[in-house]
Structure 1
Amino acid sequence: MPTENTDSTDESRTAATGTVVVLGATGQQGGSVAAALRADGWNVRALVRDPAGSRARSLAAAGIETVPGDLGDPGSLRAAFSGAQGVFSVQPNAGQAGAVVSNEDEVRFGTTVADIAGESGVAHLVYSSAGVVGATPTGVAHLDTKMRVESHIRGLGIAATVLRPATFMELLVAPDTGLDRGRMSFLMGPDQSHQVIAVRDIGRVAAAVFGAPERYVGRTLEIAGDALTGEDMARHLARAAGRPIRYSRLPEALLAREETLGRLAELAGGRLAGSADLDTLRAEFPFLLSFDRWLAGPGAGLLEEALRPGDAGGHR
């Protein structure tokens, strides 16, 4: 969590006149960072596999420079980082649905990005980790990759900031949470509190960090916008949906069968619950959305989609 003076004023932010390279800009998190940086006046350069693809074309239409490259190609990273003031680093991981990367791939990508940012003279690297990461392993391989990348970055001695986002609000309205059947299932118990953040706000926090390097270089920030129990989530969802929503923890049989889910459920009573200082964060980043505000705004379309009958068959 933030450990320094968090007073925030517009005057303390540097002018957004340089170029920031954003990795993963065709995805959720990188896309939110690219959009927030553009809104703040930065020149944004997105590394994309296929500049002719539909997502890359959408970025270009928004005024973002797209350059071809791949996290597995150090030469393309060097070319993309040339002349850049900042780099936002996020990598795909083996825990994502449909992932085609291994845990070792993620570590290799994350450490290579940091190495090349340092070699290229990038003034500020911002690495997106995860809220559950700490000084000791979690026992979940696709989360502990991020601890290894964080450690590598700190060992380089470069100007860097680590962001540790809480669980994404978007995950709470995923098709397989059961909302189309009037229920919602997730990792924690009905009375266990769990911190969450809107993906949009990760981008806005990253933009604020790039805008004030003198305040954020060398810091690790746990970031979240709200803390809710399972029952709180169900109440907010029911109000936004206009229909009853019942919350329950994921079925024990599923948690026993799926080793990673079971370990995550254990962590939900501890480290995965989050330990960000929400009052300090809201003072520093007043734009952070609570869950109910997110449901009424950026999340409204996702909730509507999740409520449609037959969107998914639920957890199996």
Structure 2
Amino acid sequence: MNQPAEFLVFGATGQQGGAVAHALRANGRKVRGFVRDPYSEKAKALMASGITLAVGNLFDRASIDRAMEGIQGVFSVQTSSPGGEVSDEQEIIQGKAIADSALAAGVSHLVYSSSGAAGKGPTGMGHFDSKSEIENYVRSLPVPSTITRPASFMEMLMLPGMGLNTGHFSFFMQRNQPMQMIALEDLGRINAHILCNPQQFAGKVLEISSQALTGEDLEYAFSNAAGFPIHYQRFSEALLTQNSFLRRLTELVDNGIVAGVADIPALEAMFGEMMKLEQWLTGPGKHLFSAALNAPQAEIALR
């Protein structure tokens, strides 16, 4: 039998689920994390922080049902196909299974973490359109739910190959083109607040972001944090011609679907001040920035 808990968090060893689980624990809430491997270092870290574990697999409905026992609120997030672990169709199956299980268990509130690109019509990219389908399914069920659509993570800026270690950083937007982003710490505390206040947020769809940033903003912040100039440039046309995945993402930034539409002042009125990139670089993101900045030069930069 599962130990008593108020909230069940899926993806608890991942970025989003981990941020939400820790934010709930920081608020003194009882949390159950859904994990595949209870012996992994991340799972052990969850237990050390006071989070109980429910061991299961998102392709095993029975294990999801067991994890739901006695739960009030659920945070649902699934792995997307670019990670290479699941297909878009499998992501949809998992998202629907969690929603079905929450309904069957009589859970009082389900928060589904979608994407800022979802709910705005077909994108032609399966890992975005899959989330739109899950959103529609969740809203079709008679279970109180909230959809959160996070902007791109600041943590994504630190992925290998972006060029920080060469002094020439490349990303999706033009130098003067804004793109919304969010720090995972803000994502965690916003979703935790929503879970703790279901009456206020049930039935709502929230676009969430910390800050709108241009390429020039990235150049300034990175240069300031590094202590030497970091030049910003958009991915080259040659790279976008070769890489259809990056090209389509760039097109979705240009047409606004991935650029972000969150009302940041309204979010800050509800949830408090959001973390800005400069704060992130000297706080939660400091070790990631240092690692990206000092990565071996042999690393191939995307251009």
TM-score after normalising by structure 1: 0.92
Partner of 1:68: 55
The 2-side partners of 1:53 and 1:300 are apart by 25
2:127 is paired with a residue whose SS is helix
Partner of 1:271: 257
Where in structure 2 are the equivalents of 1:139-150 lying within 5 Å?
139-150=124-135
Q: Offset of 1:95 from its aligned partner?
A: 1.5
The 2-side partners of 1:85 and 1:298 are apart by 30
Q: Give a deviation string over 1:140-163, Cα, whole Å, max 9, x none.
A: 111111000000001113100011
* 1:308 partnered with 2:301: no
Partner of 2:280: 294
Partner of 2:239: 254
2:8 is paired with a residue whose SS is strand
Letter in 2 for 1:207: A
Partner of 1:210: 195
5+ residue gaps, structure 1: 1-16
Q: Offset of 1:34 from its aligned partner?
A: 0.5
1:273 is paired with a residue whose SS is coil
The 2-side partners of 1:309 and 1:220 are apart by 39
The 2-side partners of 1:260 and 1:133 are apart by 17
Equivalent position to 1:103, from 88, 100, 103: 88
Partner of 1:285: 271
Further displaced range: 62-71 or 49-58: 49-58
Partner of 1:230: 215
Give yes or no for contact 1:47–1:68 (8 Å, CA) kept in 2: yes
Letter in 1 for 2:202: V
Give yes or no for contact 1:181–1:309 (8 Å, CA) kept in 2: no
The 1-side partners of 2:243 and 2:92 are apart by 24
The 1-side partners of 2:194 and 2:40 are apart by 30
* 1:85 partnered with 2:72: yes
Give yes or no for contact 2:120–2:257 (8 Å, CA) kept in 1: no
Partner of 1:157: 142
Give yes or no for contact 1:201–1:287 (8 Å, CA) kept in 2: no
Partner of 2:153: 168
2:189 is paired with a residue whose SS is helix
Partner of 2:102: 117
TM-score after normalising by structure 2: 0.96
Q: Offset of 1:287 from its aligned partner?
A: 4.1
Q: Offset of 1:18 from its aligned partner?
A: 5.4
5+ residue gaps, structure 2: none
* 1:29 partnered with 2:16: yes
2:33 is paired with a residue whose SS is strand
Equivalent position to 2:25, from 12, 18, 38: 38
Letter in 2 for 1:31: G
The 2-side partners of 1:297 and 1:90 are apart by 25
Q: Offset of 1:134 from its aligned partner?
A: 2.0
The 2-side partners of 1:193 and 1:77 are apart by 40
Q: Give a deviation string over 1:193-236, Cα, whole Å, max 9, x none.
A: 00000011111001110111111000000000000111111111
- Could you say what the CA RMSD is over the residues aligned between the two structures, in angstroms? 1.3
The 2-side partners of 1:192 and 1:143 are apart by 22
Amino-acid identity (%) = 45
Partner of 1:6: none
Equivalent position to 1:138, from 110, 117, 123: 123
1:292 is paired with a residue whose SS is helix
Letter in 1 for 2:118: V
Runs of 4 or more, structure 1, over 3 Å off, are: none
Q: Offset of 1:121 from its aligned partner?
A: 0.5
Q: Give a deviation string over 1:121-153, Cα, whole Å, max 9, x none.
A: 111100000111124111111111100000000
The 1-side partners of 2:168 and 2:155 are apart by 16
1:63 is paired with a residue whose SS is coil
Closer, same or farther: CA 309–120 of 1 in aligned 2, 3 Å: closer
1:268 is paired with a residue whose SS is helix
* 1:48 partnered with 2:35: yes
How many residues were matched structurally? 298
Q: Offset of 1:261 from its aligned partner?
A: 1.1
The 1-side partners of 2:97 and 2:198 are apart by 22
The 2-side partners of 1:243 and 1:175 are apart by 20
Q: Give a deviation string over 1:178-199, Cα, whole Å, max 9, x none.
A: 0000011111111110000001
